[in-house]
Structure 1
Amino acid sequence: MIVEISFVPIGVGTSLSRYIAKVISNIEKSGLKYQLTPMGTIVEGEWVEISNLIDNSHNLIFEMGIERIITNIKIDYRLDKKSSMQDKIESVKKKMVEPDV
């Protein structure tokens, strides 16, 4: 499963990087494969692992004094085959070179 997550602490001004840094440190400790992007973080894993990670991330942000968080979650859940972040990128790049593939 591939999940894109973005956390938006409310009431803290325009800079969110200190909160996101705490979340990314938590993701690194989890051992799950991830990719930080400018607008969110993409994580690979099983739903139980990822949902626990989201819950832990919320708690970390709350512990920093935040009382409200908006969380956006996009889930790519395939049953027909395993697919990683890298697989998806390579598939697009291949089609750029060979459009009929």
Structure 2
Amino acid sequence: MTRSQLVREAEAYMLAHLGQPITLTDLCKILNTSKSPLNYGFQEVFGISPMAYLKQLRLRSIHKALKAADPTTTQIVDIAHQFGFWHMGRFSQAYQQCLVTSPRRH
């Protein structure tokens, strides 16, 4: 399997399991590979590590969910939890860094 194929399979798994805990070790076991090919593949394809890519996928999914949500009945914390963010301070910081917007609604 080429690195790009490995990355595509890892990405598909990540997308299918965005709300579940995923570690680099988990990905390696699922894809029957070691950390180095997976890390090198993600660096080649996306320019970042697999875990940084997963974080971006989750943050983008949260952003889409927030845009589609009813602000009168939806709480940001609930959506963040759906995608594996449990510490709201870290979530807010990551969200701002990744999307350059705040998840707060005015």
Place the TM-score, normalised by the shorter chain, in its bin: under 0.3
Between structures 1 and 2, the one with greater helix share: 2
Q: TM-score, normalised by structure 1?
A: 0.27
Between structures 1 and 2, the one with greater strand share: 1
Q: TM-score, normalised by structure 2?
A: 0.27
Say which one has the larger Rg.
1
